[in-house]
Amino acid sequence: MSRSGASPQSPEIERLLALDKAHAWHPYTATIDRDPVYPVRAAQGCVLELMDGRRLIDGMASWWCVIHGYNHPVLNQAAREQLEQMAHVMFGGLTHAPAIELVERLVRITPEPLQQVFLCDSGSVAVEVAMKMALQYQQAIGERKRVRFLTVRSGYHGDTFHAMSVCDPVTGMHQLFNQVLPQQFFAPAPAPGFGEPCTEADIADIQRLIETHRDEIAAVILEPIVQGAGGMRFYSAEYLQRVRALCDEFGVLLIADEIATGFGRTGRLFACEHAGISPDIMTLGKALTGGYLTSAATLATEQVAETISRAKPGVFMHGPTFMGNPLACAIANASIDLLLEASPGSSGQGWQANIARIERALAAGLAPCRDLPGVAEVRVLGAIGVVEMTQPVAMRGIQRRFVERGVWVRPFGRLVYLMPPFVISDAELQGLTTAVGDVLSSAIASRRVNSASKRVCSCSGVCACPCWNS
């Protein structure tokens, strides 16, 4: 989508950007030598409108949560109707219809053994809740030494403290805190790709860790099928089946972190369904409210919930102030209904057919990137498309190039990826994938020119060096 009605920066835009630069600390940034930010005036469907008039097709669904697009009339109406009743009331000792209806929906659509729903307020907190549940469960059954967690490398589970401890300690974003984080067990990242079988050799390392440390491990925590911010890797459903079997064999709980994959992103309502397994505990977030408000949930089986409840202190020790927020719950109910009824923009098809449409378009549109030098792999699953480079991209320069092409794509590390809203049109998908190919081709060409001029990049990818920014 090209620039529409753009004009030089107005005094008002300059004023706002100056205030932002002076006081707003954006995620994963420094307060000096700041990355550029782009002020948004409005958003509709899959399009972000900047304050200078430029319009960008959103390929990120605002970090994967805006599955129904922006400014959706059904979700807007749900918010308005709930605001007329109450925006918030504490969930301690009180309840209300939006929360009751939401937990009923979540129990109905998630794998059957999950019967108890703990509402919370963000994905990272949902992971903290899940880990605390696992610890209290093991304490309740007398396994007091089971206080550590087993996970796999290349995983990401959030930025709060215990969640950081199960993110990849080497390639993740939390190396600075390694010496003060709880020390967990890490198996290699799952080797077999999605659709591939899982051999005994593929499962040997995680099996050895469970067997060796069975008396220390409270739970295994995994992102099922898709490892998100840790590398956008898609792995074998059979691997997940084998992990479930190992957990059962050694009395270890299985936590499925479905914060990024839940609500249809992989082509199944929940990624666990690809493997036909159910976890003991599941975390949900991101798309839960269609991106309108921060909200999350941690689900547990009756066995987990009752075991915790029958042991000292007789309660689960957690209680966020905004858990069960009525406004968030009302919008979440509307978002779930909207997804399951059909996805607008899919010509009346069901949501699965719509995700299949997006998958085909991403596969076809990103396929030419395979021929570009410096591209390691192109992979697509559901409404996720990934171009993995052999070297890190410099975010600052490549972000600017994407904005100039009229798209919002925010790469990280070696990954240029798309996770668009489900309401995206075929034309918008083509615009996104074409822009990815063109921007990467142009950036690679610039890199070659700069290299020939001996302006060689030695950065880690988060820089303003000439290789990607000229």
By DSSP bridging, strand 217-222 and strand 148-152 are: parallel
Of 58, 132, 137, 156, catalytic = 156
Catalytic residue among 159, 168, 202, 257: 257
Residue 87, both tokens = 């925006």
Nearest to 134 by CA among 267, 314, 255, 288: 255
d(CA 261, CA 259): 6
Residue 129 near residue 318 (C-beta atoms within 8 A): yes
Residues written for the chain: 470
In angstroms, the CA 296 to CA 286 distance is 7
Q: Per the residue annotation, which of 28, 145, 215, 371 is the catalytic one?
A: 28
**Alpha helix locations (H) across 70-172?**
73-83, 97-109, 123-140, 161-165
How many CA atoms lie within 13 Å of 119's alpha carbon, on the beta-carbon side?
Answer: 29
Longest CA–CA span in the chain (Å) reads 71
The amino acid present at 15, given as its one-letter code, is R
Beta strands per DSSP E along 131-260: 148-152, 185-187, 217-222, 226-227, 233-234, 253-257
Selecting among 137, 159, 168, 286, the annotated active-site residue is: 286
Question: Alpha-carbon distance 413 to 398, whole Å?
Answer: 12
Question: Is 28 labeled as catalytic in the residue annotation?
Answer: yes
List, in sequence order, the alpha helices (H) in 312-464. Answer: 326-341, 351-366, 395-404, 426-452
Task: Write the Ramachandran bin of 314: left for phi over 0, alpha for psi from -120 to 50, otherwise beta.
Answer: left
Q: Three-class SS of residue 417?
A: strand
Burial (CB count within 10 angstroms: exposed 0-12, middle 13-18, buried 19+), residue 417? buried
Our answer to whether residue 38 is catalytic in this structure is no
Produce one character per residue of 324-341: b if its CB has 16 or more CB atoms within 10 Å, e if not. bbbbbbbbbbbbbebbbe
Distance CA 420, CA 354 (A): 12
Which sequence positions are flagged as catalytic? 28, 156, 257, 286
